[in-house]
Amino acid sequence: MEFTTQLLYPVDQVLLAVMIFSIMFGMGASLTIDDFKTVIRYPRGILIGFLSQFGLMPFFAYGLAIFFELPPAYAIALILIGCLPGGTTSNMFAYFARGSVALSIAMTTASTILALLMMPILLEFYTAEFTRQISAEMQTAGSGAEFVIPTMNIIMSLVLVLVPVAMGMFLRAKSRVWAKTAEDTAGFMGIIVIIYLIGTAFVRHSGLMLQTPPAIYISAISVGLLGFLFGYWMSRLFKLSPIFQRAISLETGIQNGPIAFAIILLSFAEPVQSQMLWLAILYSTFIVMSSSFITLYYRRVGKFDFEVYKNTSIHNRLFGDEYVSDYPDGFLPKRIENDPSQGLIPAQKRD
């Protein structure tokens, strides 16, 4: 499959830059110092989240790339997506999925910072084989150049996207009201731009959609779904409370797409750039749909335990932190009866 035309026109690139900037700015505007403190408050949740985000996801991406024998550029893009930190949209999905928003925000925060360290290492580790393939191809094509993962550039791109985050946080510290407006506007603008980009990409390259082999579609869709599934089971295995399970699940599957765009545009050149972008576009499109369905599903199954959690935490909010809500025998299902949620729900009985 060849890219005969440019995937993104210069105007699109500008729009994309605006989108990345505004989304990251909006993310910063939603963060406070307290969110960083929350990270320390839920060490267990964060740790398990960390394992699934930087342990499971890159591995799944790699596994899919091997299993489907993806062309190297797509494989690298998929692994790149697998190594990304969590996205801000996951916070919104966590809210509607009756998951812990605090944990979701804390995980997004922690993973965005940690990505500076983890992404270069993970990329180096998982993509070695594919870079060799590309180099070999380039050699046979006679360009004579060697393809390497531009690690430094990636770090620089990451730092660059963190600048608007810091600016957003600065605004938040100065004015809450303006930060809220910025957050809303940024979120809205981000969605408009992404709809525009996806729309135009599909219209301009409708041929591309038909040419794209099913394996690439399946990989782009499954990487998120596997993240949801295993994020959920892993946290369940570690006996986290259901609201944490749902938050970690969504956080694992939903990656920060805009960062992927930024890295691809800033760090990679043709001939791989277009192919990588195309995969990032596919991932971003399908993840919105799959997270919507997952969220609706979680919302349903989590209704009862979330109501218990909510009622208990409101008891503590109004009656004091020492108040113990003791539900009648047999009212709570086994799963949440003795909830070891590490100080998150102090009201529940613990021995």
Partner 1 sequence: MNNRITAKNMADLYREAANRYKSLPAFATRKKELEWDPVSFEELYERGLNLATGLIEMGVEAREHVGLFGDNRFEWILADYGVQLCGAVDVPRGRDITDSELIYIINHARIKVAFVETKALLDKFIELRHDLPGLKEIILLDPEASAPDLVHKLDNVIQLGAALRKHGDTRAEERIAGIQPDDLFTLIYTSGTTGKPKGVMLTHANMMSQVKVIPIDLNCTDRVLSILPIWHIFERVFEVFSIACGVCTYYSNVRHLADDLKNVEPTFMGSAPRLWESLYQKILKKVDKSHWMRQFLFHTAYFLSRQYMNSIYFLTGKELKQEPASKLKRIVLSPFHAVRWLLVLPVYGFFNVAVLEPVRLSAGGSLKATISGGGALPEEIDRFFNYIGIPVLEGYGMTETSPVIAVRLQDNIVIGTVGPPMENTELRIVDLETREVIYPNSNRPHKGRGVRGEICVKGPQVMKGYYREPDQTKKTIEDGWLRTGDLGMITFNDCLKILGRSKATIVLSSGENLEPEPIEMKLNQSPYIEHCMIVGQDRKYISALVVPNLEGFRDNGISAGNLEELAKKSEAKRIIQQEIKQVISVSGGFKRFEMIQDVRLIPENFTVGEELTNLFKMKRHVIQDKYGDLIDEMYNGKPVGVA
Tell me which residue has tokens 């060799």. 132
Site for partner 1 in 89-148 (CB under 8 A): 92, 96
Nearer of residues 155 and 191 to partner 1, judged by Cβ: 191
Q: What is the Cβ-side half-sphere exposure of residue 133, based on CA atoms within 13 angstroms?
A: 14
CA dist 351 → 24, 340, 346 (Å): 43, 10, 12
Nearer of residues 92 and 221 to partner 1, judged by Cβ: 92
Which one of residues 9, 67, 297, 323 is an interface residue with partner 1 (CB under 8 A)?
323
The window from 34-42, 57-65, 73-81, 309-317 that contacts partner 1 (CB under 8 A) reads: 309-317
How far apart are alpha carbons 180 and 49 in whole angstroms? Answer: 27
Site for partner 1 in 271-300 (CB under 8 A): 292
Q: CB atoms < 10 A from the CB of 42, how many?
A: 24
Site for partner 1 in 152-191 (CB under 8 A): 181, 184-185, 187-188, 191
Which amino acid type is present at position 280?
Answer: A
CB of 210 to partner 1, least distance (A): 23
Which amino acid type is present at position 196?
Answer: Y
Nearer of residues 142 and 330 to partner 1, judged by Cβ: 330
Considering the rule CB under 8 A, would residue 322 count as an interface residue with partner 1?
no
The dihedral of CA 139, 143, 144, 148: what is its sign? negative
Burial of 229 by CB count in 10 Å (0-12 exposed, 13-18 middle, 19+ buried)? Answer: middle
The window from 196-204, 262-270, 273-281, 316-324 that contacts partner 1 (CB under 8 A) reads: 316-324
CB of 323 to partner 1, least distance (A): 7
How far apart are alpha carbons 98 and 79 in whole angstroms? Answer: 30
Binding site for partner 1 (CB under 8 A): 92, 96, 181, 184-185, 187-188, 191, 292, 304, 307-308, 310-311, 314-315, 317-320, 323-328, 331
